[in-house]
């Protein structure tokens, strides 16, 4: 990372801010923390942030009101909501505000680093679903494979394969029925021949 990216973390739990600071500072980010919305808005006036993380449940302004005010002043700044109280209503409000997504506590160091990268890589002003940010901790190849739609030829091939297996099933079963007695006779004959050889050797 050539230039330091500037991150703001807003959470009334100081432990959360320290966790972000510890993880991201080691990766070359500059991290500011705020314990409430009023403090965060003062920081926003004084600095340009590359990404903002905000809790929802806080004294005074809640996280979504803070996000609304930040978006009014800095519409292209990615905002990620971190919360232990994710609800459909909150997610709907956040989507209208254009936040980058939701991530739910507890957060691991890997999740903190990955969701930060994901938010920074996201095109400016483009909302991202909460699931896409939470999936940032999964292997990229697995996510892409899961998301890739099947082509028409792949769908046809899959259907044809299933039909072929369905039609072949009775013949496969019949083959087993025919083969089992032959296999049994072969094993019986083999054991008999070995016993005869041993007896002949003993004589």
Q: How far is CA 29 from CA 6, 32, 156, in A?
A: 6, 10, 49
pLDDT tens string 78-119: 999 887 766 677 667 767 777 777 888 888 999 999 999 988
pLDDT given for residue 4 in this prediction: 84
For residue 93, give every residue at least 6 positions away whose Cβ sits within 8 Å of its Cβ, in sequence order, or none. Answer: 64
The reported pTM is 0.59
pLDDT tens string 118-172: 888 875 545 444 444 444 444 433 333 333 455 665 656 666 665 665 565 566 5
Higher pLDDT, 188 or 146: 188
How far apart, in whole angstroms, are the C-alpha atoms of residue 92 and residue 27? Answer: 32
How far apart, in whole angstroms, are the C-alpha atoms of residue 33 and residue 139? Answer: 29
pLDDT given for residue 57 in this prediction: 85
pLDDT given for residue 29 in this prediction: 95
């Amino acid at each position: 990372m050539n230039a330091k990216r500037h991150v703001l973390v807003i959470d009334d739990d100081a432990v959360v801010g320290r966790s972000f600071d510890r993880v991201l500072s080691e990766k070359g980010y500059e991290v500011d923390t705020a314990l409430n919305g009023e403090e965060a808005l003062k920081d926003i006036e004084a600095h340009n942030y590359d990404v903002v993380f905000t809790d929802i449940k806080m004294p005074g302004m809640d996280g979504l009101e803070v996000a609304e005010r930040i978006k009014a002043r800095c519409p292209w700044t990615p905002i990620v909501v971190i919360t232990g109280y994710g609800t459909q209503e909150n997610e709907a409000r956040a989507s209208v505000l254009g936040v980058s997504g939701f991530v739910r506590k507890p957060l691991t160091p890997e999740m903190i680093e990955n969701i930060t990268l994901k938010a920074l890589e996201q095109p400016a002003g483009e909302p991202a679903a909460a699931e896409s940010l939470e999936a940032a901790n999964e292997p990229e190849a697995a996510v892409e494979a899961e998301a890739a739609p099947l082509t028409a030829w792949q769908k046809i091939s899959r259907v044809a394969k299933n039909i072929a297996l369905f039609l072949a099933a009775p013949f496969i079963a019949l083959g087993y029925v025919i083969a089992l007695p032959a296999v049994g006779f072969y094993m019986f004959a083999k054991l008999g021949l070995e016993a005869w050889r041993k007896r002949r050797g003993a004589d």
